[in-house]
């Protein structure tokens, strides 16, 4: 058997093990480059593919390869950009998709309303988005999408970015829109928020101009809708979004969405819409670590022409704990005060700013920081996890079966066990009197997820880092 045949067999087996969309996204244009003793070298069409195969599919790929070539022990990956645009006739069968029908008479008219371009703010770019472990995949995905957005060959369509409030979703979406426009100044790139989209529809219905609105959205080259959770319960709007989605996909037009949770967890939405939102690539962003925060602060300070002493940067990084928008508020205040008083900011003056903005929050100082990060008991972990996932601590202690609560809750149990060495019984007690077998199953579930899902692994790593445990 030659390389091509072997790889064909591997893909064939793999395609039966992984969901079709996922398989199409990650294994199309991936090739077996070399067989050397007990190792394979696998070529990937982008850095993103390489990361994903290495992190997420490594074990399933190796076990599948072993079915055909039991002697293989190691997989190596490389990037070969020429693969990205190659049609792959050899394995065409496996990737056979029912190609969406092309719409007849595609409109050639561009939008002449430039309303939307005003919505894209120049202060957000992919270049001034600071990359850390917490948002690396999301940033890479946006870059890849921006490169291919108008080529009609995007492999990530739609791209769906999710994360809590103030973690950079809007920044990423706007940055991506700006990057697409920079590369293709002629492209019709529409960025809108779910709220604005909804209002437009309501007005169009009132003025009996829905047909016009429909035409407008169907002529775009790239559509970005921010904060789709806002569509919850708005049935009429959801129908419009659904139809627009189908039309744009038929025309291979790139779409990018953001939301505060994964598509499957969106509430008050039609299933057929949430399933479509998850058809392409889903990436998440989390609260950045201390190090990433300090870099963001330095970047923003520089943009505002502020010079901050290192201890002030650290102080801000420690105390901005939930939402990065706060960071901008604090820097604006520092800027104002500096302009008025001509005095350089200190930890004291910045502390006063924080107190004014959030009178009830406890401020941490640089010296209390290391200890503050070291969890001593289950309560510390509960506080951290509730901050991190932006859910009330009472939900962690309660019994709700909602996935957006269950996952953080079970994650807290795992942390109690791994970081504090607590027994299953004492964890059960600390979490509102739960049975130790419940705790055991919960921890097991998260452990399995950590192995299978890179997002979970990153969450756990980030939390442990915050706890000073790694």
Q: Within 325-344, which residues bind ligand ADP (CB under 6 A)? A: 325, 328
Please state, in angstroms and rounded to a whole number, the distance separating the CA atoms of residues 427 and 379. 11
Closest approach, Cβ 175 to ligand ADP, in A, equals: 9
Cβ at position 411, least distance to ligand ADP in Å: 21
Span near ligand ADP by CB under 6 A; candidates 81-89, 92-100, 323-331, 371-379: 323-331
193 belongs to the binding site for Mg ion (CB under 5 A): no
The span from the CA of 205 to the CA of 174, in Å, is 28
| Token digits of residue 392 | 């009330």
| Number of C-beta neighbours around residue 32 at 10 A | 19
Q: Looking at 86-94, 163-171, 369-377, 436-444, which segment touches Mg ion (CB under 5 A)? A: 163-171
Q: Rounded to a whole number, what is the distance in angstroms from the first to the last CA of the chain?
A: 46
Q: Going by C-beta distance under 8 Å and a sequence separation of 6 or more, which residues neighbour residue 8?
A: 90, 91, 94
Q: Which is nearer to ligand ADP, 228 or 424 (CB)?
A: 228
| Cα–chain center distance at 390 | 16
Q: Tokens 């744009």 sit at which residue?
A: 248
Select the residue interacting with ligand ADP from 170, 198, 238, 386 (CB under 6 A).
Answer: 170
The answer to whether residue 320 forms part of the interface with ligand ADP (CB under 6 A) is no
Residue 351 CB, nearest approach to ligand ADP (Å): 21
The least CB distance from residue 168 to ligand ADP, in Å, is 3
Residues 283-312 that bind ligand ADP (CB under 6 A): 296, 299
Considering only 167, 222, 286, 460, the residue that binds ligand ADP (CB under 6 A) is 167
Contacts of 138 (CB under 8 A, 6+ apart): 161, 163, 172, 283, 284, 285
Binding of residue 170 to Mg ion (CB under 5 A): yes
Beta-carbon-side half-sphere exposure of residue 210 (alpha carbons within 13 Å): 13
Question: In this structure, what are the phi and psi dihedrals at residue 84, rounded to the nearest 5 degrees?
Answer: -55, -40
Partner whose binding site includes residue 256, from ligand ADP, Mg ion, none (CB under 5 to 8 Å by kind) = none
Q: Cβ 342 to ligand ADP, closest distance in Å?
A: 26
Binding of ligand ADP by 169 (CB under 6 A): yes
Radius of gyration of the chain from its Cα atoms, rounded to whole angstroms: 25
* Residue 83 beta carbon to ligand ADP: minimum distance, rounded to whole angstroms: 29
Backbone dihedral region of 16: left (phi > 0), alpha (psi from -120 to 50 degrees) or beta?
alpha
- Using CB under 5 A, count the residues that bind Mg ion: 2
Quote the CA–CA distance of 75 and 91 in Å, as a whole number.
21
- How many residues touch ligand ADP under the rule CB under 6 A: the total is 16
- Contact criterion met (CB below 8 Å) for 225 and 241: yes
Among 166, 280, 345, 442, the residue binding ligand ADP under the rule CB under 6 A is: 166
Identify whether the C-beta of residue 190 lies closer than 8 Å to the C-beta of residue 222.
yes
Q: Which does 328 bind (CB under 5 to 8 A by kind): Mg ion, ligand ADP, none?
A: ligand ADP
In the bound complex, what is the minimum distance in angstroms from residue 343's beta carbon to ligand ADP? 25
Angle between helices 3-17 and 58-68 (to 10 degrees): 130
Site string for Mg ion, 410-449 (x = CB under 5 A): ----------------------------------------
Which partner, Mg ion, ligand ADP, none, binds residue 129 by CB below 5 to 8 Å per kind? ligand ADP
Using CB under 6 A, pick the residue from 135, 176, 237, 386 that binds ligand ADP. Answer: 135
**Whether 302 contacts 272, CB under 8 Å:** no
Task: Report the C-alpha gap between 141 and 139 in whole angstroms.
Answer: 5
Find the binder of ligand ADP among 33, 49, 171, 276 (CB under 6 A): 171
Residue nearest to Mg ion (CB): 170
Pick 300 or 409: Cβ nearer ligand ADP: 300
Contact 304, 331 (CB under 8 A): yes
Which CB sits closer to Mg ion, 130 or 463? 130
**17, 79 contact by CB (below 8 A):** no
Nearer to Mg ion, 8 or 168 (CB): 168
463 touches ligand ADP (CB under 6 A): no
Asked whether the beta carbons of 251 and 219 are under 8 A apart, the reply is: no
Of 254 and 258, which has the nearer Cβ to Mg ion?
258
Rounded CA separation 77/89 (Å): 22
Residues that bind ligand ADP (CB under 6 A): 129-130, 135, 163, 165-171, 296, 299, 324-325, 328
Residues that bind Mg ion (CB under 5 A): 169-170
């Amino acid at each position: 058997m030659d390389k091509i045949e072997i790889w064909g067999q591997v893909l064939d087996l793999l395609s039966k093990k992984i969901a079709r969309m996922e398989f199409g996204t990650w294994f199309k244009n991936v090739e077996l480059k070399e067989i050397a003793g007990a190792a394979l070298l696998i070529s990937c069409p982008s850095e993103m593919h390489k990361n994903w195969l290495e992190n997420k599919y490594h074990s399933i790929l190796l076990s599948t390869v072993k079915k055909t070539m039991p002697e293989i022990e190691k997989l190596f990956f490389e990037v070969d950009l020429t693969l990205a645009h190659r049609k792959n006739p050899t394995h065409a069968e496996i990737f056979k998709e029912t190609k969406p029908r092309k719409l007849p008479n595609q409109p050639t008219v561009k939008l002449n309303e430039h309303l939307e371009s005003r919505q894209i703010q120049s202060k957000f770019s992919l270049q001034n988005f600071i990359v850390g472990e917490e948002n690396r995949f999301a940033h890479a995905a946006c870059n890849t999408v921006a490169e291919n957005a108008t080529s009609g060959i995007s492999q990530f369509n739609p791209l769906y970015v999710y994360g809590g409030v103030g973690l950079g979703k809007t920044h990423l979406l706007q940055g991506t829109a700006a990057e697409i426009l920079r590369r293709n100044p002629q492209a019709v790139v529409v960025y809108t928020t779910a709220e604005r989209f909804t209002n437009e529809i309501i007005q169009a219905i009132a003025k009996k101009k829905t047909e016009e609105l429909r035409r407008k959205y169907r002529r775009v080259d790239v559509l970005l809708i921010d904060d789709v959770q806002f569509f919850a319960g708005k049935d009429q709007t959801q129908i419009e979004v659904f139809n627009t989605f189908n039309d744009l996909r038929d025309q291979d037009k790139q779409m990018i969405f953001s939301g505060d949770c994964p598509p499957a967890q969106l509430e008050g939405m039609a299933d057929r819409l949430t399933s479509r939102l998850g058809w392409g690539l889903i990436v998440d962003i989390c609260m950045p670590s201390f190090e990433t925060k300090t870099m963001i602060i330095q970047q923003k300070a520089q943009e505002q022409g502020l010079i901050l002493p290192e201890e002030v940067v650290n102080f801000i990084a420690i105390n901005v704990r939930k939402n990065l928008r706060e960071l901008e508020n604090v820097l604006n205040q520092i800027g104002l005060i500096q302009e008025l008083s001509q005095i350089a900011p200190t930890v004291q003056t910045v502390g006063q700013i924080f107190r004014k903005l959030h009178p009830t929050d406890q401020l941490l100082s640089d010296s209390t920081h290391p200890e503050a990060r070291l969890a001593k008991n289950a309560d510390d972990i509960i506080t951290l996890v509730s901050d991190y996932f932006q859910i009330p601590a009472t939900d962690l202690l309660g019994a709700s079966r909602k996935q957006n609560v269950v996952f953080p809750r079970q994650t807290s149990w795992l942390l109690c066990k791994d970081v504090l060495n607590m027994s299953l019984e004492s964890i059960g007690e600390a979490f509102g009197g739960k049975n130790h077998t419940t705790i055991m199953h919960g921890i097991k579930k998260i452990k399995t997820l950590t192995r299978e899902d890179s997002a979970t692994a990153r969450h756990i790593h980030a939390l442990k880092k915050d706890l000073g445990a790694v």
